[in-house]
Amino acid sequence: MTDLTQFFSSELLLVAGKGLLLFLIALYAIFSLIIFVNVRRLNDVVQIEHSAISLIVQGVFLLHLLLVVSLFLFGLAIL
Amino acid sequence: MPDVFTENNQSRKTTPVAAMKEKLHPVTLLNRPASKPHLFSTFCPNPIGVTFETQEPNEKIILLLRRHFITNLRWIVAGAFFLILPLLLLPLILSDDFFNLLVFIPDSYVLVVTLLYYLVVIGYILTQFATWFYQVGIITHERVIDVDFNTLLSRSIAYTEIEGIVDVEVLQGGFLQGLFNYGTVDVQTEGIEANFEFTNIPEPTAVADTLSDLMRETRKRD
């Protein structure tokens, strides 16, 4: 248990963990951005006039992207 | 003598679809009332206010199709499972062995990992929904259009003229397909053109029937 305590409390591991987490969040943010751009393009393929459907779908994807970016900034601040 | 009844010529529909409606069999989709698509529409005859990228000025959409909503059951169940998974694992996490391990990990790390996990699960659900939502089949009185993509990162849009269709086949089997009346319509085209497949669409027999009627009308016209 003492070895385990030393392992988890080591500064190096925390810094590596922070780097890895932020890298994963950044990667996921890029992926979310690509998906959002594609969703916007797909809306041009089939258009539904006078309807909030397309706006709702795009809005949800935009919200998701913003949440991922917020998580990255949050992680940067508290980790 | 005053006219008791005069026919209003302006009210008569003169579009190609209206002309075809008069000739076609009553069961055909062309005789169904126009409908406005909503968020979960899977079978929308004569959709109001729907257009597509390469639509010709006089081209009228007869049918807008998506996969039957019941085919989404798999990812809905999977998504719900992943959403509640941390709660299911909570007793295990709070057990002595794991808890002793977790106390050495800072709370901020646990919080960020948990939030990232939930965002990934929500992203998975959104991606699956968008894949279903944007994968549509469109039948107009001139063409058949199939918008298809495996992931949200790649898409393919295939078109074929009604006159290029040689055969329409309905494939329906299995308990769920029988219960919810959905199946696959295989549209075979002539020559080297790729065949179309509308997979797991509602009312496949009605769709095939409409396509057959359109093929017959197109041949008569030619």
Note whether B126 contacts A64, CB cutoff 8 Å.
yes
Is there a contact between B115 and A74 if contact means CB atoms under 8 Å apart?
yes
Which helix (H) or strand (E) element contains residue B93? helix B73-94
How close B88 comes to chain A (CA, Å)?
A: 24
Whether chain A has a CB inside 8 Å of the CB on B219: the answer is no
Nearest-angstrom CA–CA distance, B217 and B30: 12
Closest CA to A28 of B66, B160, B143, B116: B116
Best to test chain A binding among B97, B126, B135, B145 (most A CBs inside 10 Å): B126
Residue with tokens 């579009």: B15
At residue A63, the pLDDT reads 95
SS3 letters for B132-171?
HHHCCEEEECCEEEEEECCCCCCCEEEEEEHHHEEEEEEE
User: Quick check: B106 contacting A, CB < 8 Å?
Assistant: yes
Residues B183 and B198 sit within 8 Å (Cβ to Cβ): no
Give the pLDDT confidence of B91-101 residue by residue, as tens digits.
Answer: 777 777 776 66
> Which residues on neighbouring strands pair with residue B182, listed in sequence order?
B202
For this complex, say whether ipTM is above 0.95: no
Instruction: Name the residue in chain A with its Cα closest to that of B151.
Output: A35
Residue of higher predicted confidence among B12 and B19: B19
Q: Which of B105, B138, B147 sits opposite A8 (nearest CB)?
A: B105
Q: How far is A24 from chain B (nearest CA, A)?
A: 9
**pLDDT per position as a tens digit, B14-68:** 455 555 544 444 445 556 777 778 788 888 888 888 888 888 888 888 888 999 9
* CA atoms of B130 and A41, how far apart (whole Å): 12
Per-residue pLDDT of B134-166, as tens digits, reads 888 999 888 898 887 766 667 778 888 888 888
- B49/A51 CB distance under 8 A: yes
Asked if the Cβ–Cβ distance from B49 to A38 is below 8 Å, we say no
Q: Which of B52, B101, B109, B112 to mutate to test the interface with A (most CBs of A within 10 A)?
A: B112
A77/B contact by beta carbon, under 8 A: no
- Residue numbers in A near B116 (CB within 8 A): 21, 24-25, 28, 71
pLDDT of residue B10: 46
